Structure 1
Amino acid sequence: METPLLDLRDIRKTYPSDNGPLRVLDGVSVTLSARETLALTGESGSGKSTLLHLSGGLDQPDSGAVVLDGQDIGQLDDAARAHVRRMRIGLIFQQFNLVPSLSVGANIALQARLAGRHDKAFAADLAERLGLSALLSRYPEQLSGGQQQRVAIARALAPRPALLLADEPTGNLDEETGDRVLTLLLELVAETGAGLLMVTHSPRLADRLGRRVHLSRGGLGG
């Protein structure tokens, strides 16, 4: 049997609240293989984004294991987790998180340069396919929301990450634009061989991925 690219084992996560500890995740286990696409659905507050952040080493679980390519990244310190993210993980957030002082071209190249894998030809191909070739010298503030989201997708894919994590990647886009962006994202993920874990509130978009996991009240629901 193929070893999973990402193996989340019995994940528990609690946050403090005014009413005492709030358990957001209560024993969640999920696996994702290389080249697999997995939608993570659930109501607001069900723990979707928390699970995504744990998968990317942006936070640590209270207990359980976050195993990426055989390494439990949940047990690493901040610097080591940052290194794993830089080398192995692509992140796409709903808020884009582009660097305002960098041009579109520099934003796209940023993560690949940090990982030591900048490929000018591949970056140019990404820009062309995402409709950004004419915008490379512009800055984020000069772009529409849809254009910024496509830059964020190109930036995440440019280093050819093993794992791509996307939190509502089309949440700020109209339906037609969102559908086109998701189509391109799925095509590029397939071509680069990455595994994709995508948080979405939309059952329609979730149906376009290979598999779906639904979170409910901190656990896996139907």
Structure 2
Amino acid sequence: MILSLSGVRKSYSSAEGTIEILKDIDLDVAAGESVALTGESGSGKSTLLHLAGGLDQPDAGSIIMNGQKLERFGERERANYRRTEVGLVFQHFNLIPSLSVAANVSFHAKLADRYDPAWEKRLIERLGLEDFLARYPEQLSGGQQQRVAIGRTLAARPPLVLADEPTGNLDEATGDAVLDLMLSLAGSAGSALLLVTHSSRLADRLDRKVVLRGGRIAE
């Protein structure tokens, strides 16, 4: 397994007291597998993704990624993990506005010391970005920006791609095209994909669907 969560719990403090978000989560994702994470708003999907991405830490339980126990990491190891082991794709793109499309695509790969011009050229061609390399994010449509975000993530060939509602800001046709590319290119990169979505239709296109309900994985 590329990713394994065992007995993972997470809660947050609020004015009303402690709110349990995740309760004893057990989840395995195999290398190269695509898994859809679905469930109602507030069921803990994004929280789970943030824990797997090293953006937050669980209150209890274990998260093992590629043989490494994330709970043993200090801040430096956690930052290196985010740089080299996982790729993150968000609903709001999070491109660097001062960088061109070409520079945005290569940014993560260069940071991770995995820049491969031949692979990046293939990504750019598959993503249909050849004519936009000199443009800046504000000059692109939402669908084009999401394609750049996918290219930036996959350019480093991360073992695991975590995507949080990556088509949420796109119309259905554009969202379908973006998901097609993400699945195809993640497969070409050899990356596992854990994708949060509210859409059962999109979830059904992945290898497997996991439903969160009330902070637990529904049977």
TM-score by length of 1: 0.97
* 8 Å Cα contact 1:54-1:74 kept in structure 2: no
What 5-or-longer segments of structure 1 have no aligned partner?
Answer: none
1:100-133 deviation digits (Å, cap 9, x = unpaired):
1110000000000001111112112111111111
- Distance (whole Å) between structure 2 residues aligned to residue 91 and residue 74 of structure 1: 19
- Distance (whole Å) between structure 2 residues aligned to residue 143 and residue 207 of structure 1: 29
Pair 1:174-2:171 in alignment: yes
| Residue 75 of structure 1: how far off its partner (Å) | 2.6
Pair 1:74-2:104 in alignment: no
Between 76-85 and 11-20, the greater mean CA deviation after superposition: 76-85
* 8 Å Cα contact 1:118-1:159 kept in structure 2: yes
Report the residue type matching 1:200 in the other structure.
Answer: T
Pair 1:94-2:91 in alignment: yes
- Distance (whole Å) between structure 2 residues aligned to residue 157 and residue 100 of structure 1: 19
Counterpart in the other structure of 1:29: 26
3-state SS of 1:21 partner: strand
- Distance (whole Å) between structure 2 residues aligned to residue 192 and residue 103 of structure 1: 23
1:146-177 deviation digits (Å, cap 9, x = unpaired):
11111000000000110010001111111111
Counterpart in the other structure of 1:121: 118
| Residue 74 of structure 1: how far off its partner (Å) | 2.6
- Distance (whole Å) between structure 2 residues aligned to residue 75 and residue 219 of structure 1: 24
Choose which of 188, 191, 211 in structure 2 pairs with 1:191: 188
Alignment RMSD (CA, Å): 0.8
Report the residue type matching 2:29 in the other structure.
Answer: L
Choose which of 25, 38, 44 in structure 1 pairs with 2:35: 38
Report the residue type matching 2:168 in the other structure.
Answer: G
Pair 1:6-2:3 in alignment: yes
3-state SS of 2:181 partner: helix
TM-score by length of 2: 0.98
- Distance (whole Å) between structure 2 residues aligned to residue 171 and residue 77 of structure 1: 33
| Residue 221 of structure 1: how far off its partner (Å) | 1.4
3-state SS of 1:15 partner: strand
- Distance (whole Å) between structure 2 residues aligned to residue 173 and residue 157 of structure 1: 20
Any runs of at least 4 consecutive aligned residues in structure 1 with deviations exceeding 3 A, and if so which?
none
Choose which of 146, 150, 165 in structure 2 pairs with 1:149: 146
Counterpart in the other structure of 2:211: 214
Between 205-214 and 69-78, the greater mean CA deviation after superposition: 69-78
What 5-or-longer segments of structure 2 have no aligned partner?
Answer: none
3-state SS of 2:114 partner: coil
